[in-house]
Chain A
Amino acid sequence: MKFVVSSSVLLKQLSAINGVVSTNPIVPILENFLFKLEGNILTVTASDLQTVMITEIEVEAGDKGAIAVPAKLLLDTLRGLPEQPITLNVDEETFGTEIISDNGRYKLSGENPIDFPKTPSVNRGQAVEFSSSALGSAIANTLFATSTDDLRPAMTGVFIQMGAENATFVATDGHRLVRYRRTDIKATADTSMIIQRKALNLLKSCLPSEDMTVKAEFTSSNAFFSFGNIRMICRLIDERFPDYENAIPTNNPNTLTINRAEMLNSLKRISIYSNRTTHQVRLKMTLNDLVISAEDLDYSNEANEKLMCEYNGDDMEIGFNAKFLIEILSNLSCKNITFELSAPNRAGLIIPVEQEDNEDILMLVMPVMLNTYA
């Protein structure tokens, strides 16, 4: 098997799917890309058994064949080569692979393509289409709030609920929660699933910058995505997602409306003075005034700032982990936000005042107990 391809085209396509290849996989064959040549189409597969990514590249060839090539070795070689046509020559008896460039020859030993795990096939799944930008922002708005606790696998992914009206994406780590709804992603039949954070991370990083259509299909065990010349198949998390709707408090009499960027910048400054392990900041609200303060008793550091806001409700003081607030506020892009609060020991809701078309965002964060309420 032999083909000629532009070094930069090959590098670009391999880099797009390389994120799946783990450095220390369960089975060593997964350190390889699987190359399959048919006519002048080269299909490249990368897998970690949970997620499979496939890309197709047009090459000059008239041949047929397959080989598993060490991913790291090949990518490092391509990164070091100036742009030029290169020839890959594979001996399918010995799995020896030779790269021929203007600069010289590089021999690497491949592996038997038969050993590469089979890719799960789409089997009468529920088919959905949506724009890549809608999917991209759904992932960007939820991924940060997922958990890394392997003992609670349901929370290590994003829960997706699709229906005739809209699609809801939910992520939580037990301390904060994001509910992100889009009316431009719909399905004919109600369907729900949990997709692993790693898969979504990979998906996010290889979505194209220009808007295009993403075709998705869901079965009970896998999700399939395809766009451009990339396909991705990921195994779903087979767990029950926590009952998130019940965790969102509905009766929140105290509302604080404030400029998002001003509050974000204030939090970034104040948090420098907060305790380094708890990152605790205090929010004290009185009529049209918000005071954000922090202190670190160990170092006698303290800081406070007064911000203009619109506040309706009883005077109250509530503590939060500044890191959580900063992360939430940086993920939002709206001008103003509203905090909905009830008590210093109950969840606070953060809602953009101006929601974008097709979007409905709700973020929730649990407070940190202040000594005044202990």
Chain B
Amino acid sequence: MEANRKIIHVDMDAFFASVEQRDFPELRGKPVAVGGSGDRGVVAAASYEARRYGVRSAMASKVARRKCPSLIFVKHRFDVYKQVSSQIRAIFAEYTPLVEPLSLDEAYLDVTENLRGLKSATLMAQEIKERIWQTTRLTASAGVSYNKFLAKLASDHRKPNGLFVIKPHEGLDFVAALPVERFHGVGRVTAEKMHRLGIQTGLDLRQQTEAFLRQHFGKSGGHYYRIARAEDQRPVEPDRIRKSVGSENTFGQDLDTLAEMQGGLAPLMDDVWRWCDRTQVFGRTVTVKIKLNDFQILTRSRSALLPIRERAFFEKVAYELLEENFPLPRPVRLLGVSLSNLEDTHPYEGKQLTLSF
């Protein structure tokens, strides 16, 4: 099925920033960052004008301002982004039911069998881009190929407002020429490690044995081995169910004491629990994430055999996980807590009931 699939990856260009520039004409043509401008703020999205100065999303606002002193910070308006996102998804739905949204502004579409009976995925991608422009006055980039991995690389290739197609016979060559840091799933640290091993491009990567990659990169080695061959069997999953629920916060001031951190964790647990309460979906695994002020990240998690349905129990485990990290070498910048291994506890067919003590 590999070579026969037709996958489109659609990615909105600088989504949050573009929405702001669309709605506030005075921002057009200017370097704009969506996010908090304070000392502790983080850039959620940067306009293309800002990117020319090296401003990137997830960058500390302080650093962004240093790179681009004329940078204009605007507050996010998630309600608007969500509304635009549903407009876009409505367009996708006219082409195929197989839409897998990755975030508000990004999705995979499997158009192998499409609702329009169209043969050319390229023409469909072109049409989708135009419809998005007509409906939202925003531009998107699209990538077309025979699997998700290549489609995503393709959409990235001609950004912004681009359309790029990687045909089945081109996949291997495209990947071979690519620097490893451009591969999805290869971060800065992994890329550096690959460079040290003499692996610079997809071609270098393809020349390694799977055993060698696994030896150096563990489980991910197998993934790298396959993507270096442009292989990716993952289906487009329209109903990807939520795998975890979490909340995190970067604090205005670094936290030093356990009491401060417990105080910081409490509202995050509120967030998580509110969701569990509303959906009646509970998780078995509690994870606590701690980011120190040198950006080092510590995570600890623990799993119960049954879903955690008592709030007190969830809080007890989270606090324990927090305490187990003490003493910390540095003050804390960010705390996060999440529940994963989610299970629906609605009584339904085949559901084993539990004693409520």
Contacts and interface: CB of A to CB of B under 8 A. Distances in A.
Say whether A and B bind each other.
yes
Interface of A: 147-149, 151-152, 172, 174-175, 177, 242-244, 246-247, 275, 278, 280, 319, 321, 345, 347, 364, 366-371, 373-374
Given A174-B306, A175-B353, A369-B353, 7 more contacts: A149-B305, A151-B304, A152-B305, A175-B352, A243-B357, A345-B353, A368-B350
Nearest to A147: B305
Nearest to A172: B355
Nearest to A275: B350
Contacts of A243: 357
A371 B346 CA distance: 12
A371 B347 CA distance: 9
Interface in B310-357: 317, 347-357
Interface residues on B, range: 10 to 19
A248 to B, nearest CB: 9
Contacts of A373: 347
B355 A175 contact: yes
15 contacts: A147-B305, A149-B306, A151-B304, A152-B305, A174-B354, A175-B352, A175-B354, A246-B357, A247-B356, A280-B350, A345-B347, A347-B355, A369-B347, A370-B349, A371-B348
Contact of B350 (A149, A175, A369): A369
Interface string B118-131: 00000000000000
Contacts of B57: none
A278 B352 CA distance: 8
Contacts of B356: 247
Contacts of A244: 357
Given A243-B357, A366-B355, A151 B303 contact: yes
A149 B313 CA distance: 14
Contacts of B348: 369, 371, 374
Contacts of B354: 174-175, 366
Contacts of B302: 151
Chain A interface SS verdict (over half):
loop
A130 B217 CA distance: 59
Nearest to B350: A278
Nearest to A367: B353
B357 A374 contact: no
A367 B356 CA distance: 13
Contact of A366 (B303, B317, B349, B353): B353
Nearest to A368: B352
A242 B357 contact: yes
Nearest to A247: B355
Nearest to A244: B357
Contacts of A247: 355-357
A244 B347 CA distance: 22
A369 B353 CA distance: 7
A321 B305 CA distance: 17
A151 B347 CA distance: 24
Specify which of A177, A364, A370 lies most central, judged by the most chain B CB atoms within 10 Å of its CB: A370
B304 to A, nearest CB: 4
Given A151-B317, A247-B357, A369 B305 contact: no
B324 to A, nearest CB: 14
Contacts of A149: 304-306
A274 to B, nearest CB: 10
Interface in B195-223: none
Contacts of B355: 172, 174-175, 177, 242, 247, 347, 364, 366
Contacts of A374: 347-349
Contacts of A275: 350
Nearest to B304: A151
